[in-house]
Chain A
Amino acid sequence: MLEYIIKRVVALIPVLLGITLLVFLAMHFVPGDVAQTLIGEKGGHEEVVKLRHELGLDRPIYVQYGLFLEHAMTGNFGLSYQTLEPATSMVMGAFPVTIQLSFVAILFSILIAIPAGIIAAVRQYSVFDNVLMGGAVLGISMPVFWTGVLLMMLFSLRLHWFPFTGIVSNGISLRTVTGFQLLDALITGNWRAFGDVLRHLVLPGIALGALPMAIIARMMRSSLLEVLGKDYVNTARAKGIRERVVIWKHALRNALLPVVTVVGLQFGNLLCGAILTETVFAMPGIGRLAVTSILFRDYPVVEALVLFTALAVVVVNLLVDVSYAYVDPRIRY
Chain B
Amino acid sequence: MALRTRWIVGLLVVSLLGIGWTAFAADTPQQGGTLIVATGADPAGGLDPECVMNNEAAFIMATIYNRLVEYAPGSVDIVPGLAASWDISDDGLVYTFHLQQGVLFQDGTPFNAQALKLAFDRLLDPSFPNYYANRKGIDSYVPGTLEANVASYSVVDDNTFKLVLSHPYAPLLQDLAMVWFGIVSPAAVEKYGAEVYKHPVGTGPFEFVDWVPNDHVTVKANPNYWRGKPYLDEIIFKQIPEGSVRTMMLQAGQVDVMMNVPPESISVLDKDPNVDLYRMTALLVNYVQIPRMVKPFNDIRVREALNYAVNKQELSQYLYQGLAKPMQSPIPPGMPDYQPLSPDFSYNPAKAKELLAEAGYPDGFDCNLYTYANPRSYNAAGGKIATALQGYWKKVGINVHVIQLEWGSYLRTVRDPDFSDGMCMSGWTADCGDPDNFLFYLYYGKASNIPHAMTGRPEIDSLIEQERVSADPAQRTTLIDEALQKVWQDAGDVWLTNGVLVRATTAKVHGFQLDPLSMFFYADQIWKEK
Contact = CB atoms under 8 A, between A and B. Distances in A.
B449 interface: yes
B214 A284 contact: yes
B446 to A, nearest CB: 10
A54 B238 CA distance: 32
Interface residues of B, number: 52
Nearest to A300: B137
A149 B245 contact: yes
Contact of A55 (B135, B136, B212): B136
Contact of B213 (A48, A90, A166, A291): A90
Contacts of A292: 41-42, 214
Given A156-B248, A292-B42, A51 B214 contact: no
A282 B241 contact: yes
A138 to B, nearest CB: 21
A37 B407 contact: yes
Interface string A154-181: 0011001001111100100000000000
Given A83-B42, A170-B36, A295-B408, A41 B248 contact: no
Interface string B371-413: 0000000000000000000000000000000000111111111
Contact of B408 (A36, A48, A145, A165): A36
A145 to B, nearest CB: 7
Given A33-B411, A83-B46, A84-B137, A164 B245 contact: yes
B239 interface: yes
A36 B410 CA distance: 10
Contacts of B136: 54-55, 79
B44 A296 contact: yes
B336 to A, nearest CB: 21
Interface string A246-281: 000000000000000000000000000000000111
B241 A31 contact: no
Interface string B489-521: 000000000000000000000000000000000
A328 interface: no
Contacts of A236: none
A221 interface: no
B240 interface: yes
Given A165-B249, A289-B214, A31 B408 contact: yes
B448 interface: yes
B409 A32 contact: yes
A131 B239 CA distance: 39
A301 to B, nearest CB: 10
A14 interface: no
Given A288-B241, A289-B214, A82 B44 contact: yes
Interface in A92-126: 93-94
Contacts of A280: 242, 245
Contact of B34 (A40, A47, A170): A170
B215 interface: yes
Contacts of B212: 284
Interface string B193-207: 000010000000000
Contacts of A40: 53, 139, 411
B272 to A, nearest CB: 12
A43 interface: yes
Interface in B121-154: 135-137, 139, 141, 143
B52 to A, nearest CB: 10
B17 interface: no
Nearest to B43: A83
A241 interface: no
Contacts of A330: none
Contacts of A226: none
Contacts of B10: none
A38 B409 contact: no
A311 to B, nearest CB: 21
Contact of A45 (B143, B408, B417): B417
B119 interface: no
B261 to A, nearest CB: 17
A44 interface: yes
Nearest to B451: A45
Nearest to A153: B248
A37 B405 CA distance: 13
Contacts of A46: 448
A44 B241 contact: no
Contact of B46 (A84, A165, A167, A284): A84
17 contacts: A31-B413, A32-B408, A40-B139, A41-B411, A42-B139, A55-B137, A82-B53, A83-B42, A85-B213, A157-B251, A164-B254, A166-B238, A282-B242, A284-B212, A284-B214, A291-B241, A297-B408
Given A156-B252, A165-B249, A289-B214, 11 more contacts: A37-B411, A41-B411, A44-B448, A47-B143, A82-B42, A84-B46, A149-B244, A282-B240, A282-B242, A292-B42, A295-B407
